[in-house]
Chain A
Amino acid sequence: MPLSPSDISRIANLARLELSLPESERMLTQLNSFFDIVQQMRAVDTAGIEPLPHPFATIGEVALRLRADVASEPDQRSANQRSAPAVEDGLFLVPKVIE
């Protein structure tokens, strides 16, 4: 089931990727040849099979570990913001968010 140009623009929008027209066209071709090899996968009968939540679950139950409710992280704002593109008064600045 091949992708169309509108699929490409919908996905690029969901992924917040700006693609030029040549890029979009190239992407369409590449993705379509990729999805050709995926077709055989779709035909496999997987009735009754549960997806694998963690590879180790093949041989045993893997459950989420829980940690104690302790607030132990110190304030490391300046180290954390060292690589920030735009900061003022400790806040990350972004173009205005319109609700």
Chain B
Amino acid sequence: MSTLTETSPATEARPPVLVRGYEVVIGFETHAQLSTRSKIFSRASTAFGAAPNTQACAVDLALPGTLPVMNRGAVERAIEFGLALGAHIAERSVFARKNYFYPDLPKGYQISQFEIPVVQGGQVGFFLDGARRSVRLVRAHLEEDAGKSLHEDFAGQSGIDLNRAGTPLLEIVTEPDMRSSAEAVAYARELHKIVTWIGICDGNMQEGSFRCDANVSVRKPGAPLGTRREIKNLNSFKFMQQAIDFEVQWQIDQIEDGHAIQQATVLFNPDTGETRAMRTKEDAADYRYFPDPDLPPLVIARSWVEEVRAGMAELPRVMAQRFVADYGLPDYDADTLTQNQSLAAYFEAAAKACGHPKLASNWVMGEVSRRLNAGDMRASAAPVTAAMLARLIQRIADGTISNNAARQVFDALWNTPDQDVDAVIEALGLRQMNDSGALEKIIDEVIAANAKSVDEFRQGKDKAFNALVGMVMKASKGKANPQQAGDMLRRKLAG
């Protein structure tokens, strides 16, 4: 499978981030549940939350005589994924049986892909602390999910629910390209964004739609790769970082104490914040993979790939690049605005309508996002529509209201739906003073009343100027246009 490589992928040059003198090496395996209606090999529903075993049909239960039949929707989603990541979509890929015994694995084998996966290569790009990063994918393959074991309530026994058995998964494997827990989490977030953006996965981590396993090892810089341990089933970004950090410290402690790291599978306990090795099972690794004789090879014609490509929405990275090129936005803004399709569409509509993309970006990344997160809602459901935001921004740009005033207006618009921007401005009396006569009068009064500050300004103290502006604003009850006030003040002080 992945050839362990010493070279890092092409990224911006960066100094190694060492932890107690050790370099951290991380690779990820992510299992994303695909958003098909039916299972990968049967026609049972994949809907979450059904009563136990009511969505496990004969095929899912591995009843004698049952056979798998492949779901076109799962293959299509794999193709979409491959296209989104610039990967190679195999013309011919093979399903293989991974044999092991476990109560949540009804057939005693999992149908997966081994030697020839459906998606090969590809890469995920993202930002970390303002710098570009890229993580290479080795592969992504289709396989079926197992059922669930419930351990409480059964007096020494476990209860097996096979509703989840057969749900289609895309297993996404990276090269060991990540060098810090922060980078790993940034990768995971970006991957999550992509699979939800293109609609192949609902990304609901609490429901187990997106599960990450982190392969972690440490080494002295320049040394060969250390033995890795695998932290399984990380289903929150917060726990991901904690778990990796703990594991790194643990491994370093072991090495410093003279113990070799044994390859193991570990689980993270969120209550204790610790990783702990699962009971090691001998022969755990001998899965006896062989091509599944019940499933001929999956053939994907290039014409199908092109058809899928043509039907896909603009991908987040492409859109981000377009925002930079067309709207002159910085990379950071473009990246943030394209975190989901809804937000990106909202921004773009607002930007086009008001003609001030940077202002629109600031507002969307700031006030709008804050409220969306707090209310756990999509941008498309925001009480302040993109059109309304655009109008508000125009009123700032044309001097009708100040930034501060705009925030008040926004607040009012958000909390009481279906209002008109201009009407709210009037109702709140926030129209800026644009009457230069009145403004001049206030400035004259302030200059007259603050001789000390005026002197300090003339002596070169800029802080004094700001104080004077502040007093003008106060005297105007906030209605003065600060820009205008500042200009006029400067002229008057210049004499």
Contact = CB atoms under 8 A, between A and B. Distances in A.
A64 B296 contact: yes
B36 interface: yes
Interface string A41-63: 00000000001011001000111
Interface in B280-306: 282-283, 286, 288, 291, 293, 295-299
B56 A80 contact: yes
Given A53-B291, A67-B70, A94 B158 contact: yes
B317 to A, nearest CB: 27
Given A67-B71, A80-B63, A96 B158 contact: yes
Contact of A92 (B54, B72, B103): B103
Contact of B103 (A13, A53, A94): A94
B154 to A, nearest CB: 6
B151 A88 contact: no
A89 B159 contact: yes
B58 A67 contact: no
Contact of B53 (A67, A77, A96): A77
A71 B45 contact: yes
A99 B57 contact: no
A12 B145 CA distance: 27
A38 interface: no
B291 A96 contact: no
B55 interface: yes
Contacts of B291: 51, 53
Nearest to B56: A80
A76 B160 CA distance: 17
Given A14-B288, A93-B158, A53 B43 contact: no
B286 A14 contact: yes
Nearest to A81: B53
Contacts of B20: none
A80 B278 contact: no
Contacts of B295: 64
A71 B286 CA distance: 34
Interface in A64-99: 64-73, 75-77, 80-81, 86, 88-99
A54 B292 CA distance: 10
A70 to B, nearest CB: 6
B75 interface: yes
A75 B54 contact: yes
Contacts of A76: 57-58
A26 interface: no
Given A66-B75, A69-B71, A91 B159 contact: yes
Interface in B55-90: 55-58, 61, 63, 69-75
B38 A72 contact: yes
Nearest to B57: A73
Contact of B151 (A14, A89, A96): A96
A29 B298 CA distance: 41
B36 to A, nearest CB: 5
Contact of B297 (A63, A80, A88, A96): A63
A75 B52 contact: no
B70 A64 contact: yes
Interface in B95-120: 95, 101-104
A66 B70 contact: yes
Given A13-B283, A64-B299, A80-B63, A92 B162 contact: yes
Contacts of A73: 38, 42-45, 55, 57
B151 A68 contact: no
B158 A89 contact: no
Contacts of A70: 37-38, 43
A99 B267 CA distance: 9
A47 B38 CA distance: 42
B11 interface: no
A7 B456 CA distance: 93
A75 to B, nearest CB: 4
B10 interface: no
Nearest to A10: B283
A14 B108 CA distance: 11
Contacts of B71: 66-67, 69
B53 A92 contact: yes
Contacts of B159: 88-89, 91-93
A95 B151 CA distance: 10
12 contacts: A53-B297, A63-B299, A65-B296, A71-B44, A71-B46, A76-B57, A90-B52, A90-B54, A92-B103, A94-B103, A95-B156, A97-B151
Given A63-B298, A69-B37, 18 more contacts: A51-B291, A53-B291, A54-B296, A64-B295, A66-B70, A68-B73, A73-B38, A73-B43, A73-B44, A73-B57, A90-B54, A91-B161, A92-B103, A94-B103, A94-B157, A94-B158, A95-B158, A97-B158
Interface of A: 10, 13-14, 16, 51, 53-54, 57, 61-73, 75-77, 80-81, 86, 88-99
- Closest 6 A/B residue pairs (Cβ): A69-B73, A91-B159, A66-B72, A71-B45, A73-B57, A63-B299
